[in-house]
Structure 1
């Protein structure tokens, strides 16, 4: 009787686990012996897709390349996340790859984002645009969408119906000179109401924007039913060219559902502002001798009230540096103790810096008040690490705590330095919460 090798036993265990995977869309996670994610993939059918990596008769080297063979040989277990749809899977896959940087994912690791449909509701005459960089946090956003090509085509179709503007002119409702302005071609072909030339008043224009917003929020059944009726009539009249046009319009409008939501599919890099002024102000506020270029932010999070994790985010010149993000599973602290957890993660993060083998950041930002800040300072002192600029940012009143001041620093809500610190703190919090939330309490934490 043939005695199975350790590798054959490994593959048998994985195959047995895959049998319980759902035949539904979702993401799968190849993990090594340390439970670290090696690869994230998406699938229409999780069970079928993942099983294809481990079939006895499959030749992965010729079908998928040596890179995949190496990854499969390192895989010790596979986990999955079932998603509501293929679109949900696409968006979640991109977010997790950007956050985790699995070593065997070569795509989606850059900072390219998915597009939104933006309505600039803060303007007198809101414009409607496709953008990867929204103009204002006051705009109404739909998306993100998985593709820009179909979105551009459906925008043209919607403009024919609602006649909104897509230009970037600054239009002031109180400007009487507008009536002398000559509208563009879109007005002549009845695809724009020409607010630039005072051909429509503010209230009437905002009504049509309201109609567009309701359409984007609805199931769009009325419009789709009308288009299908026209398509069927054209087909019965043997006007196949016209029928095809209506068919294409139906498909385009149905593509509006192939999108995520601003809340569930977060793209924080999309909303970053120019940080130059913020960094200059921060240097003056903290009385730093040198420019502040590298900031590392920490946050503590609890999973189901038991497991504790910590996140580290790194910003360089005021912008997220995703390759520097880390996640830690707290090992030495029993129960919920944010101070002890912060002390552990600071010790683990800067142990090499204490030995002179790694550089410290210009600023360490702790999510929390005096207690969390003191815990971080104690950790640095215990490992004999140099102490750089280090502050705590408490959420309740957005107060900045420093080691050398008894009273916290309070900055105005619109101060760019405060906004930058909030961005770092909120990104650390999002990164800590996001991983275990999106994986619905699956244990896929990097044991750094």
Structure 2
């Protein structure tokens, strides 16, 4: 059976906040806090999960209520969302379904705010409504995360389109224009100052905008903002800026509370010998929560085979039969998919589909699940219990006298010899020690000469150590084969370093994870470790982190040398698209906050390119 994951320290029975927070993402999302009995204590949302959750564990400044909550925490689970808006709606869904005892601030259980377009034949009104009703016809837009944002946005829409906001009885009994007409927020249809045809055209434009299908009004406001700034009318420019932000906020399509649909959305992630499966539960179009599992697997199994085995155990294993939805969404085709779908359909007494090639809302759910699978796996790998168990295994594997407390790993990155960068990543008993990571710009070596680059970085790093500067590692890994390792051994001999074990990590003949070869620099021995070895998993984690950090450093150096901005480094984003992005959002920070769908609303930006931009700006 799959095992439910928990972000706790396990063997101590106490929550290990330090290791959990180290790998927590900066993205928006929802966090759930649990006590030792597995009961949910509190549900919250955050623009940045790392910053928000970290605030609970500061040493001073906590209220008595928060201190009492923190004292009961045994585990924390997170769900990453596409935007802060989606996080807020998911938070409210979870609070309504779970009723956490510490969420007293939301005990009034208010309904979501909507914008309502009435059903009047000639002159419909556009108004704010709390909660959705089927009575009276009309069209509903929303839900939206904030009533204040909706009211302010309605004010802007009334200024732009001059659509009435009065009640039907007030509208029928007017004999002269009201104050809204005087302040140019209504075209006075009550007294015939506008024809039904002209008014319907304004309604059509307002509707298109609320549906996110007409960015023309945004372009007009952006042009007005730029013109005001050019004339040094900064107060007016700020007003236009605020209007743009309100309009963009009202435009957001909600993935967390969409129309209809029951599905289990399943994603898989693999790293350092560990597999994580995340299940997102969607009922009635609402994301109700996530569950994380870490199934055992064989190195020979593909993702397709792993998902097939997982689905069989998830729905049919154990004593309790799980609810089977109409759709099960997966990122890859599942081994035995047709037979499994038939068995699920028979168990549910209706058709159940296993689908991978999906679009629209379902595609967003699947992408959300994949993001959460990667984040959950990183958190699991950084947990104190996991690292401790792997350190013990590594000590036994390499026959070390003591458990290593500091390990360093080196890698080289470049593009056809351009802007070569070397990375040094550091792990201790708590996992990655990012404060001690270092990047080295390699200069004066032949383009593409990885051996010379490795010699330079090792000489620079350990010459300081011999001179009494820097911290001494207990173990050093080199990402590469015998050639790179021989260079490292020569550098150590030249510097007189003989008491630090030096291990090369080569990918092996097949270059598949789990098939790595380890090379001892001192003896020359080459050996393989079983794919399920915790020691190998730790080595893979260190090696992968070194590779990631080297590539990130190389890209930063390359872009800086080419004098590129963050957007300039993204393929497919030329000067015109960069200009449109900056005009639409106002700056790079606002672009970072935007979801894929929001980015795709910019003129000239397709959904595929929006996904590329989002991934580039959230590369972790």
Q: With structure 1 as the length reference, what TM-score do the two structures score?
A: 0.51
Aligned pair 1:25/2:24, yes or no? no
2:161 counterpart of 1:162: yes
Corresponding residue for 2:228? 234
Is the CA contact (8 Å cut-off) linking 2:228 and 2:236 kept in structure 1? no
Alignment partner, residue 83 of structure 1: 81
Question: Where does residue 61 of structure 2 map in the other structure?
Answer: 63
Which of 248, 253, 265 is the aligned partner of 1:257? Answer: 248
Residue 210 (structure 1) aligns with: 204
1:166 shift after superposition:
0.8
Q: How does 1:245-394 map to 2 (within 5 A)?
A: 245-258=236-249, 261=253, 264-265=256-257
Distance in 1, matches of 2:44 and 2:315, equals: 34
The CA RMSD over aligned residues, in Å, is 4.8
1:142 matched residue in structure 2:
141
Gaps of 5+ in 1: 1-5, 173-177, 269-299, 311-332, 343-371, 373-393, 397-436, 443-448
1 CA distance for matches of 2:255 and 2:79?
A: 19
1:183 alignment counterpart? 177
Distance 1:440 1:123, change over 3 A: farther
Question: Match for residue 53 of structure 1?
Answer: 56
From the superposition, tell whether residues 50 and 163 of structure 1 become closer, same or farther in structure 2 (CA, over 3 Å): closer
- Equivalent residue of 1:183, what SS? coil
Q: Which residue of 2 aligns with 1:198?
A: 192
Q: How many residues align?
A: 288
| Higher radius of gyration, 1 or 2 | 2
C-alpha spacing 1:255/1:185, structure 2 compared with 1 (3 Å): closer
Q: Is the 8 A contact 2:156 2:247 kept in 1?
A: no
Secondary structure of 1:80's match?
A: strand
- Gaps of at least 5 residues in structure 2 are 1-8, 267-277, 282-312, 323-347, 352-368, 377-620
Give the alignment partner of residue 130 of structure 1, picking from 128, 131, 134.
Answer: 128
What is the TM-score of this pair, normalised by structure 2?
A: 0.38
Please state whether the residue corresponding to 2:106 is helix, strand or coil: coil
Question: What CA deviation, in whole Å up to 9, does each residue of 1:170-221 have, x standing for no partner?
Answer: 599xxxxx89943323334543233322333434322220111112233764
Any residues of structure 2 matched to 1:409-420 within 5 Å, and which?
Answer: none
* Partner secondary structure for residue 146 of structure 1: coil
Alpha-carbon deviations, 1:386-423, whole Å to 9, x = none?
A: xxxxxxxx999xxxxxxxxxxxxxxxxxxxxxxxxxxx
SS of equivalent to 1:53 = helix
SS in 2 for 1:88: helix
Deviation at 1:168, TM superposition (A): 0.8
Distance (whole Å) between structure 1 residues aligned to residue 265 and residue 217 of structure 2: 45
Q: 2: distance between equivalents of 1:22 and 1:180? A: 56
